[in-house]
Structure 1
């Protein structure tokens, strides 16, 4: 019995050992299989099998992202949103073109596991052509993309040839009818995009607005008749009468205009009308004084809220023309091709749905249905956006053939408002902020700045860290800007005064107030460059804000002006530092002055006047320390002019400003800041303003447009129409 127990024990041990060996072998086999799964050859097999299937679905995904996210870029200037749309915009074109190349090369069709049917591969190719046409919501990411319309035209021809080549390779294609229909649909979509880019190209955009050649009255014939009468000794004279002016209104009448409120639907109509008149601003078009009078009359009658609302709509139309398919779609031809494209897509869907799919892999059928459903749904969304857009509202309103056009306009606008496609706003309604003192106090680690500078990300990180936002929706900023420009427009009785106001950058305001401190006036004189004045006033405004004497009994208006001075001060510094390309026309050596001023400020904050660091202090303490420095002698006499720092020059200016009475100080400073803002707005290149429409819009662009509407600019060069000359013969 003992032997039997020992034997069973040995057998059990042997079985356990065998089981352990078996498990070890299985583990080793699993490891080998796992290693083999990542073998380059295995990976290549997987890629060959799934590359086309994945790329067509990814291409559809990017179309969905763009149609829903692209409109948001005109309402926000956030770097993350812009970066996301930029990546989707570039990758959408790349992935679609890549997928067409895969199909034309026959990759993905020769797999052993799940071979792709050639008929389906040929049917997928037109969808990629459709994707290359892009959604209606974006054709160009920036203005420069419009200039590349010839490249897109060439791309259209190349991709069309590639799709046709794929189709001809499978000439016995059972799906040839829906394939041909989708090819035509893709061709229409791609052609729409190319035409939109062509029309938005600034050269073509300007050419489309050029008036017909006008030689004027026949001068040679008139003078010939005059000379012949003179030679015949017939008494003759020429009488000149000016062309009658329409809609004229003198300045006294403009002063007495009552502010009227307009309905929301009228805001869209007026915005479209002014867009048609003033869209030439972005290409330096010239305007007549009749157009100036009409615009001035309208905006003199508006309150600030309605005026900005009309300009929002006007700039929104401008954005649509420059960055979307609007220019190519809105019109009889555009509507016709859009309907044809939709019919082709729906018919292709129906034909495939009714087709017998024997021999097709189930996953490939699912991918095909996904592409078809995606095409139908995206096209439906595009139609809904098209029907309930601002463009449809104004076109229905301007239609004289439709008896019920007004009722239809109201219905369309009501539905559009309910659906909230464009939300309730058309721009970001915020102004970016940058404080020089905070910039110098909130230092990053030096190695981060060094690394970011080497890879070109320093500006990006600076904007993320130092940039702040303040809303202009509920405060008095727009009202103060509007009223001050309106007051100046009333004084601009003729083009000469209008150009003086247009060229003022603080000196006009100070001369009007008869400022008793010549040092203050000198800070904005013509001898001082604009960027120097801006930086001086920025630092001085911060110092006055935190250190100047306050009046607790001051009125609400003065408090608003004090806050607005800070908002405009930090906004203008943000433009100077973070938007140098936009501000290049007025920038000068502003960036050098900014970095030198920052260097001196950081040096002062590290040690202070008494050797105590100020880096952990904020606001009033820091500003008090700066103003505590004795500035009897001008810094340039002590330091020379090698350093362009303006830190203590600004301290001198702040001390002079603090000598003014509280209410008068902030009244003058607010008007100076509006003038500095309006000077930059009117001198920035027009395409700089247009570029910002795709980045959330900028307050300075609204100021530029408002100045044009008030007639404060040099765009109005046609002071009178043709003179009517009559030859009077005395018998």
Structure 2
């Protein structure tokens, strides 16, 4: 054991700096690859990898710089080349363009990053100043200066991106900035661009109205003012896809360098840093190719080549990603459309560049389709958590029993019995039909989609007087009551019909999704919602009822509901536990849905779907903007798309379209 420790100590003394610098570079490569996936896929394993790499990347670079600045005086002459690595550590601290923050809270710590930036720049400058690289007249000196400048610029760019993501656009501005933002221009419509050229204009539309989700998630912003002709010319499908794309764009705003990259100075930084890195590499290669070149340890030379080659590759990727991004496509397209006919040469140049960018993006999309890779701007999935399945499976599961013995039953069951499924194909259609119902209704009305939570749907279907109690209770209890009742009704419906229609499948997915938010992501619900009712109902069903299967539990719930609907609630009902009350209310509702007799024309399925869509809209509208922004880093949520579309409607962007549908 002692011998092994001695070997490690010797290795650390001889190769510790080399190992740290190469580890720092490796972590940057990992972040570059995985960060591009995380806003399109909700995966716990992926989150763990990115979280570890994100924390280790900064820690490794900072520790390496500190270790080098303390021990530089002890280095042997043959290891003086290690001082040249200090600027590369600054470059690594600048991070990759597609990830500046792991969580939304990192943006608020931009002042801490600024302080770290100052300290690490001073440390890197000190290392270079104390090394023999700056005292000898060799090609390494200008190469080190170039890389130091690049490292400072890229690190500073990251701090600035964090600042941009954390601050409101109105912070500290003049009062006149609180006016109105004009979106659209009556001189231009999207019809002037061929649909087959700009892929139905989703990219241009999403960027052109990006101020709307910015106002929702990052406000306060100025009030929005839209042209009348901008709101009535596009299909619902186009607007829905634009909202999906804006999830990816908003991820870039909060978690990447996108707000900084796609500016004139951001573009200049990409070009200058690449040219400076290539120049530094040529100087170093020239230095070591000379017979009388700067002599140093051969392993250090190889490590330097790896860092230089890796830096060039990362800079090329950064430049290409910026050039062929949707931001560049939208910017070039808008600039081309607005270009004056007098400046014909500028218009032709911009048109040519937009063709190049579009062609490159088209080829990438086509290659992805051929490879069977989905073209997603977000995860495209909905979490699923079925209460009935949880109770029946965890009651007999050995792992759940072990978790109960360890006092972690709730956490374990929520994790194990939560899955995900693709968004139903008819979800967009259901949402459109539901939003139409609120056209012409005051935003303050209890029947508006922002406030109804199922109440308006019950009124439209003539069931309000009988079932209003199920939506007038607290939100979390209403969700549980309708979820259990929906499962009971769909189980009965499935037995009565040979196959379930798409609407029934969509209802089950919606019901499971809202309960998933309640159980696994309660921060995506309104602030006054609590998991307490969910926990109490789990305790009631798992620990105080006797059943052997899901069918047995559904039968028990239905019989209990029929008994309560026939004999009425017991006078002692109000003195029972909350779990008992919720269970009885769910049983009553399930029995009532079956007895209503609307199934002949699928009227009951329509009613249930409308109630769940209204609950979803209510939840999305009242979810905190910070929670929407937080979830963007984990693949996004469908309720965020719903919130964006509802914001379209609030600002008047969907007004004409929904009037036409109605």
The answer on 1:701 being equivalent to 2:652 is no
Q: What is the match of residue 9 of structure 1?
A: none
Give the 3-state SS of the residue equivalent to 1:106 in structure 2. Answer: helix
Query: In the TM superposition, what whole-angstrom CA distance separates every residue of 1:524-560 from its partner, at most 9, and x where no partner exists?
Result: 12xx111111111011111111124766489xxx822
1:475–1:374 distance in 2 versus 1, CA, 3 Å: same
The answer on 1:640 being equivalent to 2:640 is no
1:484–1:49 distance in 2 versus 1, CA, 3 Å: same
Give the 3-state SS of the residue equivalent to 2:421 in structure 1. Answer: strand
Give the 3-state SS of the residue equivalent to 1:469 in structure 2. Answer: strand
Q: Distance in 2 between matches of 1:450 and 1:393?
A: 57
Q: State the structure with bigger RCO (CA 8 A, min sep 6), 1 or 2.
A: 1
Please state how far the C-alpha of 1:109 moved relative to its aligned partner. 5.7
Q: Distance in 2 between matches of 1:423 and 1:96?
A: 36
Q: What is the match of residue 342 of structure 1?
A: 274
Give the 3-state SS of the residue equivalent to 1:634 in structure 2. Answer: coil
Q: Distance in 2 between matches of 1:390 and 1:536?
A: 44
Query: In the TM superposition, what whole-angstrom CA distance separates every residue of 1:653-689 from its partner, at most 9, and x where no partner exists?
Result: 0111112221111110000000000000101111211
Given that 1:109 and 1:116 are in contact with CA atoms closer than 8 Å, whether structure 2 keeps it comes out as: no
Please state how far the C-alpha of 1:319 moved relative to its aligned partner. 1.5
Query: In the TM superposition, what whole-angstrom CA distance separates every residue of 1:617-651 from its partner, at most 9, and x where no partner exists?
Result: 23x33311321233234378347244344122101
Give the counterpart of 1:396 among 327, 332, 338.
332
Q: TM-score scaled to structure 2, two decimals?
A: 0.85
The answer on 1:680 being equivalent to 2:624 is no
The answer on 1:297 being equivalent to 2:261 is no
Please state how far the C-alpha of 1:362 moved relative to its aligned partner. 2.1
Q: What is the match of residue 578 of structure 1?
A: 520
The answer on 1:592 being equivalent to 2:532 is yes
Given that 1:52 and 1:107 are in contact with CA atoms closer than 8 Å, whether structure 2 keeps it comes out as: no
Give the counterpart of 1:131 among 92, 114, 134.
92
Q: TM-score scaled to structure 1, two decimals?
A: 0.77
- Pairwise mapping of residues 274-353 of structure 1 onto structure 2 (< 5 A)? 274-285=209-220, 290-291=225-226, 296-298=231-233, 301-304=234-237, 306-353=238-285
1:188–1:452 distance in 2 versus 1, CA, 3 Å: farther
1:36–1:197 distance in 2 versus 1, CA, 3 Å: closer
Give the 3-state SS of the residue equivalent to 1:76 in structure 2. Answer: coil
Give the counterpart of 2:425 among 475, 481, 489.
475
Given that 2:212 and 2:644 are in contact with CA atoms closer than 8 Å, whether structure 1 keeps it comes out as: no
The answer on 1:381 being equivalent to 2:317 is yes
1:425–1:121 distance in 2 versus 1, CA, 3 Å: same
1:246–1:435 distance in 2 versus 1, CA, 3 Å: same
1:135–1:108 distance in 2 versus 1, CA, 3 Å: farther
Query: In the TM superposition, what whole-angstrom CA distance separates every residue of 1:142-183 from its partner, at most 9, and x where no partner exists?
Result: 111111111111111000010011111114254222111111
1:284–1:714 distance in 2 versus 1, CA, 3 Å: farther
Please state how far the C-alpha of 1:317 moved relative to its aligned partner. 1.8
Q: What is the match of residue 57 of structure 1?
A: 22
Please state how far the C-alpha of 1:584 moved relative to its aligned partner. 4.6
Q: Distance in 2 between matches of 1:637 and 1:692?
A: 43
Q: Distance in 2 between matches of 1:347 and 1:307?
A: 46
1:345–1:449 distance in 2 versus 1, CA, 3 Å: farther
1:365–1:289 distance in 2 versus 1, CA, 3 Å: closer
1:146–1:585 distance in 2 versus 1, CA, 3 Å: same
| 4+ aligned runs moved over 6 Å, structure 1 | 208-211, 712-716
Give the counterpart of 2:591 among 641, 644, 655.
655
1:576–1:432 distance in 2 versus 1, CA, 3 Å: same
Q: What is the match of residue 366 of structure 1?
A: 302
Query: In the TM superposition, what whole-angstrom CA distance separates every residue of 1:95-149 from its partner, at most 9, and x where no partner exists?
Result: 1111111211227965xxxx67343111011100000000001001111111111
Q: How many residues align?
A: 609
Q: Distance in 2 between matches of 1:69 and 1:149?
A: 23
Given that 1:292 and 1:709 are in contact with CA atoms closer than 8 Å, whether structure 2 keeps it comes out as: no
Give the 3-state SS of the residue equivalent to 1:427 in structure 2. Answer: coil
The answer on 1:563 being equivalent to 2:505 is yes
- Pairwise mapping of residues 64-103 of structure 1 onto structure 2 (< 5 A)? 64-103=29-68
Q: What is the match of residue 628 of structure 1?
A: 559
Given that 1:198 and 1:204 are in contact with CA atoms closer than 8 Å, whether structure 2 keeps it comes out as: no
Q: What is the match of residue 720 of structure 1?
A: none
Give the 3-state SS of the residue equivalent to 1:628 in structure 2. Answer: helix
Give the counterpart of 1:207 among 144, 163, 171.
171
Given that 1:52 and 1:108 are in contact with CA atoms closer than 8 Å, whether structure 2 keeps it comes out as: no
Structure 1 gaps, min length 5: 1-34, 217-244, 248-259, 609-613, 717-731
Q: What is the match of residue 267 of structure 1?
A: 202
Given that 1:55 and 1:95 are in contact with CA atoms closer than 8 Å, whether structure 2 keeps it comes out as: yes
Q: What is the match of residue 26 of structure 1?
A: none
Given that 1:52 and 1:103 are in contact with CA atoms closer than 8 Å, whether structure 2 keeps it comes out as: yes
Give the 3-state SS of the residue equivalent to 1:505 in structure 2. Answer: coil
Give the 3-state SS of the residue equivalent to 2:96 in structure 1. Answer: coil
Give the counterpart of 1:537 among 482, 505, 511.
482
Given that 1:568 and 1:673 are in contact with CA atoms closer than 8 Å, whether structure 2 keeps it comes out as: yes
RMSD of Structure 2 on Structure 1 (CA):
3.1
Please state how far the C-alpha of 1:565 moved relative to its aligned partner. 1.3
Larger Rg: 1
Q: Distance in 2 between matches of 1:695 and 1:214?
A: 33
Given that 2:270 and 2:318 are in contact with CA atoms closer than 8 Å, whether structure 1 keeps it comes out as: no
Please state how far the C-alpha of 1:496 moved relative to its aligned partner. 5.1
